[in-house]
Each structure stands twice: as C-alpha cells, then as structure tokens.
C-alpha cells in the first residue's frame, strides 16, 4: 500500500513513513493510492466477529506488510481490551430505526480513543524497530489531547507536546490532559482558539528547523492517516449489528475537523452500503455552509457548549476535496490558497456529486440543550452536547425513515457538566470509577502566548534530548 499527497507534489510513502510524517512535504495530507474494496459476501462473513477481529480485517490492507499480521492482531487485541464494554462500540436505541453508537467507552471517554490508543502502540512498534525518537506535536479542541496522552504516555521513544486553547475546553477535558504524570508529557495552554493551535502545528510540520535536525515531529491529530484508518472500523461494526450489508445505513456525525465523517465516506467507498452521511456542526458551521450552499468561507470562531467542534479550518476536508476534484492535487492546492483569502466554491457538478451522499445541519446552543433535555425526558438517556447535535441533525436531515439512522456518540456526558446543567435536566453525569478522583489530582501545564516562536522555543527546551 502506497500513500500520496492531496497536493500532488510530495513523494509517495509506505505505511511506516506515513505514520511518522503527518503532513506531506508539500503541505498536503496523505491518502491511500488506492482503496481496498470488500464484496457484500465478504462483509457478510464478518458477522459475529469481535471488534478487534473486525478491525484486523478492515485495517490490515492499509498496513500491508509493514507489520506482520500476528503482531498487528496482538496490537488490536490490546488496544480494544482496555474499553469498558464488551461490545467496544455498543448501540443504544432511541426510537424506531434510530440509534446512538457509544464511542466513549475507552479510557478517556471519547471516540478519539479508538484511533489514539492504537496509534500509541503503532508508534512504539515502529520507533523501536527503527531505534528512532520523535516529538509528537498536536493541537486539541478538547478530546484529542487526553486520548493522545493516554495512548502515548508509555512510549519510550516519544516526547509529547499538546496545545489546547486556554480556557476554551471543559474542566474535565483539561484535567484529563494536565493530570497525567510523565516526564515526556507537556501540556501547553495557548492564549487563542483551536484554529490558532492547529495553525502552529501545521506550520511547525512544514518547517522543522527549530528542532535543529536532532529529531522529527510526528502527528496525532487527524491529519495522521492512521487515525482515519482506525475510525473506518466502527461504521462496519454498526452496519453488521443492524442487518448490514444486506440493508443500507445512514449516519449522523458530530464533526469539526471532518476526520470522523471522512472515515464513513471511505467505508462506503470500500463497499459498505451507506445511503446518507449527515455532517452535524454547531455555530462554527463552515462545513454546513459549504454542503448546503456550496460556499466555503471562514467566519469568526465562536465559543460554544460543544467545544470539541469549535473549529473553523477543517483539515480533513481537504481529503474529500481531493476526491471531488478527481485527485488533482494542483486543483486542491489552488482552491485552498484562494480559500485563505476569501470565500470559494467548487464547480456545481462536483458539489452536486457530494450532495448525493452528504447532508448537513448546524445546531446552536439552544438546540443542543433542547435535544439533551428531550432525549432525557423521552428515554432517560443522557447525551453529551456533541452527540445531541448529532441527534438533532439526524432528525432534521433524515431522508428515509426505513433506513436505520445511527448517530455517532462521540463523548461521555460527564465531560461536559456545564452543558448538561444548562440543558435543565436534573440528572448529573458521574465520572466512571477510574476517574473518580480527577478533580483531586495535581495539574501540570504551561500557559503561552499565541505565538509560534514561543511555542517552538518551549518544545526545543523541554524534549528529553534537548
């Protein structure tokens, strides 16, 4: 399996190098040169498999011979053994043909665990094999940071630096990152928003001279292909649990950076019958404005009750644009350069092609709270604010009630107690036992100005071989 850049100018790489590279040298994102495709008969034969067995079947073609099959199976078994539910990604029914897939049963209570608990193991394997050290630099709007730290904190060949927007993540999200002990773990609170953090990460990957040639950066954000690869699996899991592949499925996905829903798009291209993908966003609705009206334009970023989606520059959207433009890297590069200057649109026929699969909706804080309250009253089931947006968008955009609609439940409600309280429900979500003392643990983080030079200087001073 070879991987190519969405901007068409970087060299093609194998899986190991893509795992360690993050952004391509031309500023693009890596995607597979070709996708594996599974027949309905083959997908049908996977019914009844454990989650890790299914994950092996879906992901192994992407890894190919970079990791021996037995080693990869063991890695997957260890990754998903730490989840708190035997089904790993259980389904909860809300209404007739309407479901929530709980993707928050991992150690940090968010869907990011599916990819990042595996990514840490992949990095450890490859770095040990190469006797190489890397510096992980990542940006988080809330959940990626804690999942990355948990997944990588035991890695012997890694120093990890996570940037989060100061005072713009929930207290639980912050404490999940800042209370993990380890000399190789560094949390940086940037006086800015998530897009500022993400921009610094991208610029640092594009010019790593500040590291003095002593090490290289590795990515944990969803620009890393391995994260997308791991997220494809639960679309197959949901489908197989509800009668697939003999019937089509629809999915509603709370998304800010477009990675989670892009994984669903890939699942469809790999042979899984999916009739609809709903992009569910909050007031930071650039993806909704594009999908509903073919205009891609950055607005001022707003702080909402669903902070993990407070994103205006959706990195993984570039991967979809690459496909919509017939994998023409130069066309994508030109489009994104223009988008940095003002609003852009794509050719009408390309946009209409995307609309055959995608719908979208933007839900404000009031709609989010209303949905949390309604679902609690109707089902005695508590949604976190991101999943609530997904449920509201699913109901607003649903095309066919005979097709099962599955909302991806992206986080545990206990991570967002302020949003739950604002919704007016009387139930207060409790942290699980392994996090019961979270508010008693000592925090460690550094607040820095929104300045890339200062952030890079901090990294060069604090990685272990500096």
The predicted-structure confidence for 85-108, as pLDDT tens digits, reads as follows: 999 999 999 999 999 999 999 999
Chain length of the chain: 466
CATH 3.30.365.10 fits 86-109+225-423, yes or no: no
Could you tell me the sign of the dihedral formed by the alpha carbons of 388, 392, 398, 404, in that order?
positive
pLDDT of 141 reads 83
Query: Does the pLDDT of residue 195 top 80, yes or no?
Result: yes
Query: Per-residue pLDDT averaged across 340-364, rounded?
Result: 97
CB of 165 within 8 A of CB of 282? no
Query: Does the pLDDT of residue 23 top 90, yes or no?
Result: no
pLDDT of 217 reads 93
Extended strands (E) in 226-307: 249-254, 274-281
Q: What DSSP string describes 9-69?
A: -SPPB-HHHHHHH-S-TTS--EEESS-----HHHHHTTTT--HHHHHHHHHHHHHGGGS-H
CA-closest candidate to residue 141, choices 362, 312, 319: 312
Query: Does the pLDDT of residue 466 top 60, yes or no?
Result: no
3-state helix, strand, coil in the chain (%, to 5): 45, 15, 40
Residue 112 annotated to the active site: yes
What digits encode the pLDDT tens for the residues 45-98? 999 999 999 999 999 999 989 999 999 999 999 999 999 999 999 999 999 999
pLDDT of 53 reads 98
Give the separation between CA 395 and CA 324, rounded to whole angstroms.
27
pLDDT of 155 reads 87
Q: What DSSP string describes 102-114?
A: E---STTSBTTHH
What digits encode the pLDDT tens for the residues 433-464? 999 999 999 999 999 999 999 999 999 999 87
Listed as own residue / partner, the contacts of 331-336 with beta carbons closer than 8 Å and 24 or more positions apart are 332/6, 332/7, 332/8, 332/28, 333/7, 333/8, 333/26, 333/27, 333/28
Top pLDDT among 230 and 213 is at 230
Catalytic residue from among 112, 202, 268, 333 = 112
Exposure of 370 by Cβ count < 10 A (0-12 exposed, 13-18 middle, 19+ buried)? middle
pLDDT confidence bin for 156, thresholds 50/70/90 = confident
The answer for residues whose C-beta is within 8 angstroms of residue 108's C-beta and 6 or more apart is: 143, 146, 147, 150, 176
Query: Per-residue pLDDT averaged across 411-439, rounded?
Result: 94
245 preceded by a cis bond (ω within 30 of 0)? yes
CB of 357 within 8 A of CB of 277? yes
The answer for residues whose C-beta is within 8 angstroms of residue 4's C-beta and 6 or more apart is: 10, 12, 30, 31, 32, 33
**Residue 77: strand, helix, or coil:** helix
Give the separation between CA 334 and CA 139, rounded to whole angstroms.
25
Give the separation between CA 138 and CA 457, rounded to whole angstroms.
16
Give the separation between CA 137 and CA 384, rounded to whole angstroms.
28
Domain ranges of the chain: 86-109+225-423
pLDDT of 142 reads 78
Percent of the chain with pLDDT over 90: 91
């Amino acid at each position: 399996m070879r991987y190519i850049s969405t901007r068409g100018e970087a060299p093609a790489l194998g899986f190991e190098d893509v795992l360690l590279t993050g952004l391509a040298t031309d500023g693009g994102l890596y995607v597979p040169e070709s996708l594996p495709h599974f027949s309905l008969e083959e997908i049908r034969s996977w019914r009844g498999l454990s989650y890790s067995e299914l994950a092996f079947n879906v992901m192994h073609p992407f890894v190919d011979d970079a990791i021996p099959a037995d080693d990869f199976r063991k890695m997957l078994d260890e990754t998903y053994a730490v989840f708190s539910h035997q089904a790993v990604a259980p389904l909860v029914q809300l209404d007739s043909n309407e479901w929530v897939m709980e993707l928050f049963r991992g150690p940090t209570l968010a869907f990011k665990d599916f990819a990042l608990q595996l990514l840490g193991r992949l990095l450890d394997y490859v770095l040990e094999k190469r006797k190489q050290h890397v510096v992980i630099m990542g940006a988080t709007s809330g959940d990626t940071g804690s999942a990355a730290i948990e997944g990588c904190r035991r890695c012997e060949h890694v120093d990890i630096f996570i940037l989060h927007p100061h005072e713009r993540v929930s207290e639980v999200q912050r404490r999940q990152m800042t209370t993990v002990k380890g000399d190789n773990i560094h949390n940086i609170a940037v006086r800015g928003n998530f897009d500022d953090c993400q921009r610094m990460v991208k610029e640092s990957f594009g010019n790593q001279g500040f590291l003095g040639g002593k090490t290289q950066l590795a990515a944990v954000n969803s620009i890393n292909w391995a994260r997308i690869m791991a997220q494809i699996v639960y679309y197959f899991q949901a489908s197989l649990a509800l009668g697939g592949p003999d019937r089509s499925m629809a999915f509603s996905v709370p998304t800010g950076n477009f990675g989670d829903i892009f994984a669903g798009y890939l699942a469809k291209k790999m042979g899984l019958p999916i009739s609809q993908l709903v992009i569910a966003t909050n007031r930071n609705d650039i993806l909704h404005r594009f999908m509903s009206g073919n205009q891609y334009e950055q607005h001022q970023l707003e702080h909402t009750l669903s902070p993990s989606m407070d994103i205006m520059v959706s990195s993984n959207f570039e991967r979809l644009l690459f496909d919509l433009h017939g994998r023409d890297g130069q066309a994508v590069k030109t489009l994104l350069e223009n988008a940095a200057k003002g609003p852009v649109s794509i050719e009408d026929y390309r946009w209409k092609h995307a609309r055959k699969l995608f719908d979208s909706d933007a839900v404000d804080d009031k709609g989010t709270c209303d949905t949390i309250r309604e679902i609690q009253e109707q089902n005695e089931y508590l949604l976190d604010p991101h999943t609530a947006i997904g449920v509201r968008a699913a109901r607003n955009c649903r095309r066919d009630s005979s097709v099962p609609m599955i909302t991806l439940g992206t986080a545990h409600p206990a991570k967002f107690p302020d949003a739950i309280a604002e919704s007016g429900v009387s139930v207060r979500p409790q942290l699980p036992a392994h996090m019961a003392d979270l508010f008693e643990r000592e925090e460690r983080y550094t607040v820095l100005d929104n300045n890339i030079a200062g952030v890079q200087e901090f990294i060069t001073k604090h990685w272990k071989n500096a």
